[in-house]
Homo-oligomer: A and B are copies of this chain.
Amino acid sequence: MKPTVHDIARSAGVSLATVDRVLNGRPGVRRVTRQKVEGAIAELGYVRDVAAANLAKGRTYAFTFILPANDNSFMLGLGDELRGAVVRSSAERMQIRIVNIPPFDPGALVAALEAEFDGRPAGIAFVAIDAPEVRAAVERLAAAGIPMVTLVSDLPEAARDHYAGIDNMAAGRTAGSLMGRFLAGAPATVAVVAGSMLVRDHRERLEGFSAVLQEQFPGLATLPVLEGRDDPVLVEALVGKALNETPDIRGIYSLGAGNRGLIQALRSVGSLRRPMVIAHELTAFTRQALSDGTIDAVLNQDAGHEVRSAIRVLKAKADGLPVIAAQERIRIDIFLKDNLP
């Protein structure tokens, strides 16, 4: 049988109350007594029954997720995953509130963060915008002892407890490496389409991509970045124009959203001149394009994993427990048409 606090008390020759004091770090236990109890715990291999403990604590976890009301497939999918997780997690004493704010708006994010002070949530997850005022708000919440997790886009070196998202620099490097190898090292011109260079994850992806091309594939030249603002219509126009004006484009790296427009532009190009294309985020559109050969590779972050990881981490932080780092690492999925799930 699994040992309980009673067994510890008996084995250590102390009372239940003392065991409780040791277990929960309450004061009023002499050093020697504490060591006796800890010895018994180690000897019997006692592990606290979290179900019973949570029940006794009667604690519920109020978490808030702040998401941009973006209408691209990825963010919509993230919202879906989150709502699914909310339903399931209510069975585990968690109450998750979802707050939507206008996208790309640091002021709105700060306001939403400030508003959380009143509710005193057990934790907050949010898609970070890298701006000084956001950092300041995060510092204040951290000072108030509220655990915070950044989601999808990070705020490095700020007081957040964890980042639930991919390493965007590594993603960019991976894209660069694939592009270089797929183009077999021959001299060629590559175009890069981004959403906005103001967004941190896009900047990092570009940085990683460019670094690898420079280091390992000097034969590949890149054109100036096309900023499509994650807007399918704008992306289509920009890419179409670029393909017309620079017919020798042999590769395209799309590191933001709005891939619907990219795919449109590519479809109107003759299949002979179709460039090598690497894009981000597996959506209905990119999946289709991948299987029909319009896109060659898709780098993906799994929104469901990110959401579940954020929830797990918030809960662990709220409980003061360590997180299993390996489990919480969000991986960069590489999809070719051959390993589509």
Number of copies: 2
- CA–CA, A106 and B173, complex, Å: 44
A118 within 8 A of B: no
A326 touching B339, Cβ below 8 Å: no
Q: Mark A169-186, 1 if CB is under 8 A from B, else 0.
A: 011011011100110100
Which residues of A294-340 are within 8 A (CB) of B?
Answer: 296, 304-305, 308, 324, 326-327, 329, 331-334, 336-339
A143 at the interface (CB under 8 A from B): no
Distance between Cα atoms of A336 and B324 in the complex (Å): 24
Q: Mark A155-171, 1 if CB is under 8 A from B, else 0.
A: 00000000000010011
* Contact status of A91 and B48, CB under 8 A, knowing A338-B212, A339-B332, A341-B329: yes
- Supposing A2-B60, A212-B338 touch, asked if A49 and B331 sit within 8 A by C-beta, the answer is no
Contacts of A337 in B (CB 8 A): 177
Please state if B55 and A177 are interface contacts (CB–CB under 8 Å).
no
In the complex, whether A54 has a CB less than 8 A from a CB of chain B is: yes
Q: Complex Cα distance A208/B339, Å? A: 10
Q: How distant is A132 from chain B, measured CB to nearest CB, in Å?
A: 31
Beta-carbon contacts under 8 Å, A210-230 to B: 212
A51 is contacted by which of B90, B93, B95 (Cβ under 8 Å)? Answer: B93
Which of B47, B51, B88, B327 touches A54 (beta carbons < 8 Å)? B51
Any B CB within 8 A of the CB of A52: yes
B336–A177 CB distance below 8 A: yes
B residues less than 8 Å from A95 (CB atoms): 2
- Does A133 have its Cβ within 8 Å of any Cβ on chain B? no
